[in-house]
């Protein structure tokens, strides 16, 4: 019985260790962000970063304000790390990078 409890504790310890290994891992780094250049496609950005972004909602323009033609049909994606640092990247209607911003990337 004592060996069974010890074995279960040992197994539980290994599982917790394995699950915790990725806890501080970044999805996107500052170096990867710096490689995102105007005109690259979303799929190229995903290749550089190594992960899909989450599509972010575009804010609605104020009443009476029309979006410029290049912004119509655009999409914004966000990559957020476990420490809440993030990169946000905007792609035009043709899927080409047109804007980017980041906060706290290392």
Mean pLDDT by 10 residues, the chain (106 residues): 50 43 75 98 98 89 78 91 97 96 98
Ordered by where they begin, the domains of the chain are 24-59+67-106 (3.30.1450.10)
Cβ count within 10 A of residue 85: 19
Output the pLDDT for position 44. Answer: 98
For the four alpha carbons of 66, 69, 72 and 74, in that order, the dihedral sign comes to negative
pTM of the model: 0.71
State how beta strands 75-80 and 54-56 pair. Answer: antiparallel
């Amino acid at each position: 019985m004592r060996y069974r409890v010890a074995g279960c504790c040992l197994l539980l310890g290994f599982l917790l260790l394995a699950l915790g290994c990725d806890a501080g891992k970044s999805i996107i780094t500052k170096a990867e962000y710096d490689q995102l250049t105007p005109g690259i496609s979303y799929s190229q950005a995903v290749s550089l970063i190594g992960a899909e972004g989450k599509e972010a909602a575009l804010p609605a323009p104020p009443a009476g304000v029309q979006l410029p033609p290049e912004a119509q049909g655009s999409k914004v994606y966000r990559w957020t790390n476990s420490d809440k640092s993030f990169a946000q990247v905007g792609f035009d209607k043709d899927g080409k990078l047109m804007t980017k911003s980041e906060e706290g990337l290392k």
